[in-house]
Chain A
Amino acid sequence: MTHNTRLDLNRRDLLALGTGTVLIAASPLSSHAEQADLDQARRELFGMRPVTEGRVTIKLPPIAENGYSVPLSVEVDSPMTKEDFVKRVAILSPRNPLPLISQFYFSPGSGRAKVDARIRMSGTQSIQAIAEMNDGSLWSGSRETVVTLAACVVL
């Protein structure tokens, strides 16, 4: 947590949290740097394997009133049989202090490759989900959410 997190703290705009503490406004960061972090997290999880767009549906509200708890729903199109099922889904952010938000692991016993969770979002961004099937193929989907933060007065 120490060294890397500190770097992240300086580099990225943060979710401003807590009571009475000053909200930190969004800083204009180059989108390249952000995308690079997501890409690296993706390589760490899946190596250099090709990812095809499709089969993954993400639902997020178009506008979230703040980034503390945004409802996320991810579903992967799969029969979920022993022969053909989703093994895992990684949820990635190009803008949070840490790009990897969560990984969900499924099995044929899941019956349905769908999960809902609530995530933190440091500002407006496009969340990406990458699904790995039991045959090793990778599929992805993404969705953008505008995050409004009250940043003028701390209330």
Chain B
Amino acid sequence: MASIRLAVPDAANVGEVIEIKALIRHPMESGHRRGARGEVIERDIITRFECRYLDELVFAADFHPGIAANPLLTFYVRASNSGTLDFTWTDQHGTAWSETSALTVT
């Protein structure tokens, strides 16, 4: 089960730059570790994060094994109109986890 934590304001003034924090539970197994019997543990990572605001891609990230487990991102979005912010994490197998939050802009 993916656990997601989001810190997003629900209101902002037009033109204001808001800070967003997004945390997801994921081992980000690097593929460089060895298990108890010396076997290489297969890579299993989230490879992509996207934030859409009013259906437009405003911020994205490509992850590689150098990103720590349970990835945490802090980034910014400029508020323009009221609407939704969509957050999606996708792993290397194509499995995706999403969250949405509503922003009121005045």
Contacts and interface: CB of A to CB of B under 8 A. Distances in A.
- Asked whether any CB of A lies within 8 Å of a CB of B in the complex, the reply is yes
Interface of A: 1, 5-6, 8-9, 14-15, 17-18, 20-21, 68-70, 80, 91, 93, 96-98, 100-112, 114-121
Task: Please provide the 6 A-B residue pairs with the shortest distance between their CB atoms, ordered closest to farther.
Answer: A111-B78, A101-B66, A111-B17, A109-B58, A116-B74, A112-B76
Interface residues of B, number: 36
B9 interface: no
A109 B65 contact: no
A14 B77 contact: no
Contacts of B5: none
Nearest to B80: A109
Main secondary structure of the interface of B (DSSP, over half): strand
Interface in B61-86: 61-69, 71-78, 80
Contacts of B66: 91, 93, 96, 98, 100-102, 119-121
Contact of B74 (A18, A115, A121): A115
Contacts of B32: 5, 8-9, 14-15, 97
B77 A110 contact: yes
A132 B89 CA distance: 24
